Every structure is written in C-alpha cells, then in structure tokens.
Amino acid sequence: MADDQFPGWHGTTIIGVKKGDEVVIAGDGQVSLGQTVIKGTARKVRRIKPGGHEIVAGFAGSTADAFTLLERLETKLEATPGQLARASVELAKDWRTDKYLQKLEAMLIVSDGADIFVITGAGDVLEPEHDVTAIGSGGNFALAAGRALMDTDLSAEEVARKAMAIASDICVYTNGNLTVEKISQ
C-alpha cells in the first residue's frame, strides 16, 4: 500500500538469531502513527504449533496482514508437517501470485529451531547468511549490531537482546519493551 493511502504508519524491529542449537526471535512492542506512539506493549512475536510442530514467528508491518499470513503459514505447515522450508516457499508463491495476498503489507521471520527464514511479499524466502536476520524500521540497526555480537561468547538470546537495545536507541519507531521467544532444534 502506498504511503499516501495509509500515511504515517511506521514499523517495528524484529530480529532472529541462530547460535548453537538455539534460535531466538525478538521484537519490540511499539506501534506508532506518525510521531505518536499508539501502543508500547504490542506482541509481534508468536509461537504457533501447526500439526504439533512448534514454530516461532515474528512480524513487521500491518498486524492484520501479518495474522493473515501466519494463518496461511499454519495451513501450509499442516499440509507439510515438519517442513518449514517447503511451507515457507509455498506461502511466498501464494503471496506473490494471489490477488488478495498481494495487497498484504508485512514481512515474517520464522523458525522451527533448525532453520530460520525471512518471508516477503516479493516471493522471497531468505535464509540468513550469518545466522542473524532482522526486519522492520530498525532492522538494519539490529542486524548490524547482531552480526557484530555473533563472534562473542554471548548466547543467542543475549545477542538478540543487546542488538534490540542498540536498535531501540537509534530507531524512533522501536522501543525496548521486548517479546523474546526461544526455540531449539
């Protein structure tokens, strides 16, 4: 959706960190409209269990659109239990080709504890090259901080928390009220 159709809405920051046998997805809680903080405690990271297989997902963008995508991902995972990569590709294909889904404004970071992917409306399913990925308005700040911290002795959760703290200090659309979900292989 063009900025002139929905002016002033700005995002969030979501980070995914894979270190050792653990994946952490963390997201801030701020929802902004223009220069106004509408809510500071939104929960943008969720744990879902389609077909008995646990998945952690974080989203940036429109909440309603993200929930629509999460529901579609759950359906794909129920059809292909335990195959997050396949379900993610199927969702991305639908998102790219379906007239209704094409209008959705959101991005997802998803993990089953073994793999971590970014799913976009452009039809991309991206696996991070350095086991850190981030999306949203503060995503680049969190990504840079997370990559810098990966060579330390910090755990995946500690890397995610520190990277989010740095992003929240820089990005005015990101706060320090975090939702953190861990998942192991």
Residues marked as binding? 168, 171, 174
With a cut of 60, say whether residue 58 has pLDDT above it: yes
**Fold classified for 9-184:** Glutamine Phosphoribosylpyrophosphate, subunit 1, domain 1 (3.60.20)
pLDDT, the chain, mean? 89
Q: Sheet with 9-10: list strands edge to edge.
A: 9-10, 31-33, 36-39
Q: Which residues are annotated as a binding site for Na(+)?
A: 168, 171, 174
Q: What is the pLDDT of residue 123?
A: 82
Task: Please provide residue 116's backbone torsions phi and psi, each rounded to the nearest 5 degrees.
Answer: -135, 135
Sheet holding 13-19, edge to edge: 132-136, 13-19, 22-27, 179-184
Q: Using CA atoms, how far apart are residues 48 and 76, in angstroms rounded to an integer?
A: 13
pLDDT grade, residue 10 (50/70/90)?
low
Residues labelled catalytic: 12
The yes-or-no verdict on residue 104 having pLDDT over 80 is: no
Do the beta carbons of residue 174 and residue 40 sit within 8 Å? no
> CA-CA distance, 152 to 156, in Å (whole number)?
10
DSSP string of 41-99, one letter each residue: ----EEEE-GGG--EEEEEEE-HHHHHHHHHHHHHHHHHSTT-HHHHHHHHHHHHHH-T
